[in-house]
Structure 1
Amino acid sequence: MLRTARNLPLGDFNCFETFDVDEAREIVARKFCSHRLERMSASDRFNACQNRVEGKRLSLNYIRYGADVTIDPGELSDFYLIQIPIAGTADVQNGTRSVWSSPSTGVVLNPDRNTTMRWHAGCEQVLVQIERSYVAEIATRMTGIGLNAIRFKPGLHMNRGPIAVWTRRLRGLFGAAASGQIFRHPDDPCQRQLEEALVTSLLEVQANTASHFFKEPAAGTAPAILKRAMALINERFDQDISLLDICAFAGTTPRNLQIHFKRELGCSPMEKLQDIRFNFARHLLLSDSGSLSVSEIAEMSGHRHAGRFSQGYKMRFQETPRQTLRRRRFC
């Protein structure tokens, strides 16, 4: 027998329970998006339930359907959806990537990729819905670079290293939300900090199109000269800027700036500029759906010579830009 809503994750925050497929589809669509929901077998017992708490930029959810169902939302458009089974299994297709989802393997649904799912009978999942614009905002704040089209690797292997730590943090949030400690007031500063921490750590531990940016050493508590220099590099990396341009903006000499960069970041200012250009190019190559050519991506990332761009890219990533385009791991 299926458990009642009160005995489930977020049990005091029930949205609905129903035996009616159309009613379940309509109510779930109000919080997520329009979708098709169909039973695979008339003999399965359909018993749908959703519990939900809402924060400022994300929500925590529990959903079950009881029966074997297919769900076709298409593109989610405005939000990422992380799904983690706590019982049962599901087949999930996000873009060209398929994931067999189970209590040890969750899935991150990218909003700009077509999604289809089959939740097998007995599947129960906890879900995190995160605004697409919020992920872009956090990524931009973390790097200082405008990163809009973040795309994650769909498979979330929750027992592996840093992902396991992130999963424990998520379980703690569900527990604290269930007891009423958080998710009470969306504008609470503590709530904002918790949401930021969850999204920040997700960007750091789950492979995505901008992962190379998050592996770069940060300026941290570095001198103001270095911070000003990095602000210019992050803002104008796609333009033709020289060492003297950076020095003039930072208000120092080339020698002094070189010393600060070497001591704090282990590289020269122009090496850092090239790092950012190549990382941004890789982000575009991994996230592009075929609308951009290699030469266009080279230009957009500040490289003015296609041949030198390809050579430098291969030295850095051990594959050519065209090989990265063909693989498209996150499409």
Structure 2
Amino acid sequence: MKTTPTGLTFEPTKDAKAMNKIVRTREYGRDPEKLAAIISSSTSRFAVERVSDGFSFDCQVVTTGPLTFVQAAYEGEIWNRRQAAGDKLVLLFPQSGGATIHMNEQDLVSAPSQITIVDSAYNKGMSICGPRSHLTAVLSFAELQTRLSNLFGIPVKRDMGFHPEIDISTGPGLLLKQLANLLNEGLRDESLLQKSPMALTNLVDGFLNHLLFSVPHAYSKKLHTEVNANPRHVKRAIEFMRSHISQPITLEQIVAASGAGMRALQLGFRQFQSATPMGYLRNLRLEAVQAELASNPATTSVSDVATKWGFAQMGRFAADYHARFGELPSQTLRNRRQ
């Protein structure tokens, strides 16, 4: 039985729209061909061989943006044989039972104590001896390459050399598992997560960024040594903000000055500044106001200074100022006079 795919979209940006389109499918039963169909893609085909009697399966697949999750349960023994080299990175989160992932040079045993990370270009398939259940996360190398390229400012090769086994009980592996479970459960049926597109986008970004920053791979050392303060596009954006701090600049102008796309810039600011680009600009302007109120003897009006540095709504400005500095702007001015 297969359900009809459903979709969910919203309109803020083209990137957000693509990220939040959700497609779900489900297949279950005893037919190996149906199992092969649901775990295959246009670029990666499988053939399923039933090894023993009593075989059955239940697979639920959900896709959003660059991520696909497959929640699978099996009974009996089967061989999933890959028909051609794949182009995806596969993360296997075991829940019960055992399986063996067959690679070109070695076999990897998938057990509930660890996440298995597989480059499908070197994978020959998987043998399963049920009962077995696992959650699989599938993502494109192109997405990871784009994220790393945006951080480094240079092209990144596809072969990333992720460590194949990660302890699932503590540290990075445990958090990766928790994020995968949260996303998988939140994308099924009509959950609250689907009614909050920004929360969904942030969770997907969090999952992918945690994978890149916390799981060992060929670019880990470069990532943690060269991308120390800000990647180049974030630096260019900040330089543009500082040069135009008192002018009414827009997010689109900041993006253009950075030389990156909207999504890459927002991702860079979240990762390295814990703020949005416009939030960072607001903080720069607040600091300029605070410095002038605290040090300029000619200053007599809070509203004049706030307007000079680009604040038009005095109530919102006062609240933001208090949240950042722990006092109202009038108090800063009063303290200087004293």
Question: TM-score scaled by structure 2?
Answer: 0.56
> 1:147-166 maps to which residues of 2 (within 5 A)?
147-149=156-158, 150-166=160-176
Corresponding residue of 1:82: 91
Corresponding residue of 1:96: 105
Corresponding residue of 2:193: 182
Corresponding residue of 1:72: 81
Cα distance in 2, alignment partners of residues 183 and 33 from structure 1? 28
**Secondary structure of the structure 1 residue equivalent to 2:131:** coil
CA shift digits 1:126-169 (9 cap, x unpaired):
11111221111112223333212223122132124222222222
2:69 paired with 1:60: yes
On the 8 A contact 2:101/2:108 being kept in 1, the answer is yes
CA shift digits 1:186-224 (9 cap, x unpaired):
xx44433322221111112222111112221535369x9
Cα distance in 1, alignment partners of residues 170 and 107 from structure 2? 19
Structure having the larger proportion of residues in strand: 2
Larger mean Cα displacement after TM superposition, 74-83 or 48-57: 74-83
On the 8 A contact 1:138/1:196 being kept in 2, the answer is no
For structure 1, which runs of at least 5 residues remain unmatched after alignment?
Answer: 6-12, 229-331
Corresponding residue of 1:131: 140
On the 8 A contact 1:84/1:107 being kept in 2, the answer is yes
Corresponding residue of 2:131: 122
Cα distance in 2, alignment partners of residues 100 and 94 from structure 1? 11
On the 8 A contact 1:75/1:113 being kept in 2, the answer is no
Cα distance in 2, alignment partners of residues 127 and 156 from structure 1? 14
For structure 2, which runs of at least 5 residues remain unmatched after alignment?
Answer: 4-23, 237-338
Out of 43, 46, 50, which is 1:35 matched to?
A: 46
**Secondary structure of the structure 1 residue equivalent to 2:145:** helix
Out of 20, 45, 51, which is 2:31 matched to?
A: 20
On the 8 A contact 2:183/2:204 being kept in 1, the answer is no
Corresponding residue of 2:265: none
Cα distance in 2, alignment partners of residues 221 and 137 from structure 1? 17
Cα distance in 1, alignment partners of residues 150 and 162 from structure 2? 18
**Secondary structure of the structure 1 residue equivalent to 2:35:** helix
Shift >4 Å, 4+ stretches: none
C-alpha distance 81-106 of structure 1, shift in aligned 2 (>3 A):
same
Cα distance in 2, alignment partners of residues 84 and 32 from structure 1? 23
Total equivalences in the alignment = 213
C-alpha distance 86-54 of structure 1, shift in aligned 2 (>3 A):
same
2:213 paired with 1:218: no
Cα distance in 2, alignment partners of residues 63 and 31 from structure 1? 20
Cα distance in 2, alignment partners of residues 184 and 66 from structure 1? 35
Q: Which has the higher contact order (CA 8 A, sep 6+)?
A: 1
Cα distance in 1, alignment partners of residues 181 and 44 from structure 2? 25
On the 8 A contact 1:55/1:183 being kept in 2, the answer is no
Quick check: which has more Rg, 1 or 2? 2
**Secondary structure of the structure 2 residue equivalent to 1:112:** helix
CA RMSD of aligned residues (A): 3.0
On the 8 A contact 1:37/1:71 being kept in 2, the answer is yes
On the 8 A contact 1:52/1:62 being kept in 2, the answer is yes
Cα distance in 2, alignment partners of residues 126 and 31 from structure 1? 21
- What's the offset of the Cα at 1:14? 5.1
- What's the offset of the Cα at 1:89? 0.7
Cα distance in 1, alignment partners of residues 83 and 147 from structure 2? 25
**Secondary structure of the structure 2 residue equivalent to 1:53:** strand
Cα distance in 2, alignment partners of residues 39 and 106 from structure 1? 25
C-alpha distance 84-62 of structure 1, shift in aligned 2 (>3 A):
same
**Secondary structure of the structure 1 residue equivalent to 2:121:** coil
C-alpha distance 180-148 of structure 1, shift in aligned 2 (>3 A):
farther
Corresponding residue of 1:113: 122
Q: Identity, % of aligned pairs?
A: 15
Out of 202, 209, 212, which is 2:211 matched to?
A: 202
On the 8 A contact 2:75/2:130 being kept in 1, the answer is yes
Corresponding residue of 2:177: 167
On the 8 A contact 2:44/2:82 being kept in 1, the answer is yes
Out of 15, 39, 46, which is 2:55 matched to?
A: 46
